[in-house]
Amino acid sequence: MEIHFDSKTIVMDNYKSLKGYNLKLKEITSSINEKGHLEQLLSFYNSISGNYQNWPIELWDMIQTTEVSFMIKDL
Q: Give the residue-averaged pLDDT of 44-56.
A: 82
> What is the reported pLDDT for 19?
95
Q: For the chain, how many helices (H) and strands (E)?
A: 2, 4
> What is the reported pLDDT for 8?
94
Whether residue 56 is predicted with pLDDT greater than 80 in this model: the reply is no
Amino acid at position 48, single letter: I
DSSP letter assigned to residue 36: S
Q: H helices within 1-75, ranges in order?
A: 37-48, 59-73
Task: Report the candidate in 7, 38, 32, 37 with the shortest Cα–Cα distance to residue 17.
Answer: 32
DSSP letter assigned to residue 26: -
Q: Which sequence spans correspond to the domains of the chain?
A: 1-31, 43-75
Whether residue 39 is predicted with pLDDT greater than 90 in this model: the reply is no
